[in-house]
Amino acid sequence: MFRIVTSLDDLIKVLIVRGIVFLEEQQVPYSIEMDEHEYSALHILGEIESEPIASGRLRFSGEWAKLERIAVRKQYRKKGHGHQLVEYMLQVARQHGFRKYKMNAQVQLRDYYAKHGFIVKGDKFKEANIDHYLMIREDSN
């Protein structure tokens, strides 16, 4: 269901999912949604029968793996796909040698990510005009 993007076709599918969820549904401007990290990040695609349903982006900086741009198309939500995507992203980060993870989580998803061991660090802030928290997770070695 989930895999690391290795082809242009897969990357296009990731960007379509993000366009649907972030640009259309959440009204995030394109200039904020697409950034300078697109070419260096590791992109994750989720599909069901070749239909793109979910996506995420991983970036590695220092000792941290950052989970970003986690998106599940509306009709595929509340079926466990988002949780599977987060676990897959954590697994990929571990395979790259990381044990510390962070994300900027939308405020309404704080409890959702807490189920994956993430805790809020610091105060609420605005990103793309949406309230977020920095959330972190550190695995014991």
pTM of the predicted model as reported, rounded to 2 decimal places: 0.94
Digit-coded pLDDT (tens) for 24-59: 999 999 999 999 999 999 999 999 999 999 999 999
Identity (one letter) of the amino acid at 54? A
Structure tokens at 60: 């590695």
Structure tokens at 35: 């950034």
Closest CA to 42 of 4, 84, 85: 4
N-to-C CA span, the chain: 28
- Which residue reads 């695609």 in tokens? 45
CA distance 22 to 90: 22
- Say if CB 64 and CB 98 are below 8 A apart: yes
**Partners of 130 in beta bridges:** 127
Question: Does the domain made of 2-101 have the CATH classification 3.40.50.1820?
Answer: no
pLDDT tens string for the chain (141 positions)? Answer: 999 999 999 999 999 999 999 999 999 999 999 999 999 999 999 999 999 999 999 999 999 999 999 999 999 999 999 999 999 999 999 999 999 999 999 999 999 999 999 999 999 999 988 999 999 999 986
Q: Output the pLDDT for position 140.
A: 83
CA distance 33 to 18: 8
